[in-house]
Amino acid sequence: MTIKQTLNSVCVWIDSTALSQAIQNAPWVVPTVQTVHILAIAALMASMLMINLRLAGVVGRDQPLARVSGRFSPVIWWMLPLLLISGIFLIIGEPARALKNNIFQIKMLLVISAIFVTWFATSPLKKSPAHWDSRAGLATLVALISVSLWVAIIFAGRWIAYF
Ligand code: HEM
């Protein structure tokens, strides 16, 4: 069996489950779950921007980076499970639309990359609050990569519907 055939069987199986049928038969479920997904994106993006703009030294230089990160990174780590759960609900409701879509697969790789870059930027600050002070150039580069990845995820998320 090829990967494509396996993916196809998985989609057919998910589609036949009671949960998928329930989601498909209640027209309010998908818009509600999408609303949760979008609200979580808003909270994550706002927090991600606060950290990265401070990391790049663009705003809030009167506030220590470790404090900005300590305040906003928990929001990112709490929103991710919410995005995962709401995303899984959207997949169960219409499995082939996401799982067979190349843009969805790229989006998942981007999510993993963005999580790694965010962890790379914020985790050293817990033990060493001045970690990035002596590495201003690298800090700006990391902030730029991080913002680009998160924005690319939004773009990919929207593109799934048109690909
Ligand atoms: C963590 C795992 C995630 C999963 C499994 C997931 C899954 C999904 C799925 C299945 C859709 C519906 C696409 C469609 O049918 O058109 C979607 C939409 C979307 N996702 Fe995610 N997602 C995840 C995380 C994220 C993250 C971290 C972001 C951005 C920060 C994001 C941004 C979006 C956007 C902008 C949309 C389009 C929303 C709309 O137009 O209603 N997702 N996601």
Residue 61 CA, ligand 1 centroid: distance in Å: 33
Instruction: Look up tokens 């002596």; give the residue.
Output: 134
Q: Quick one: angle between helices 29-55 and 136-159, nearest 10?
A: 160
The protein residue whose alpha carbon is closest to atom 16 in ligand 1 is: 161
φ/ψ region of 33 (left if φ > 0, alpha if ψ in -120 to 50, else beta) reads alpha
Q: What is the mean pLDDT of the segment spanning 129-141?
A: 97
- pLDDT single digits (tens) 10-30: 999 999 999 999 999 999 999
Residue nearest atom 15 of ligand 1, based on CA coordinates: 161
DSSP letters for 105-153: HHHHHHHHHHHHHHHHHHTHHHH-TTTTTT-HHHHHHHHHHHHHHHHHH
Task: Find the length of the chain.
Answer: 163
pLDDT digits (tens, 9 = 90+) for 28-83: 999 999 999 999 999 999 999 999 999 999 999 999 999 999 999 999 999 999 99
Give residue 123's domain range: 3-162
What is the arithmetic mean of pLDDT over 142-150? Answer: 98
Overall domain count for the chain:
1
Nearest CA to ligand 1 atom 13: 160
Residues with CB under 6 A from ligand 1: 34, 37-38, 41, 44, 80, 83-84, 87-88, 90-91, 97-98, 111, 150, 153-154, 157-158, 160-161
Are the CB atoms for 7 and 100 separated by under 8 Å?
yes
3 state DSSP class of 57: coil
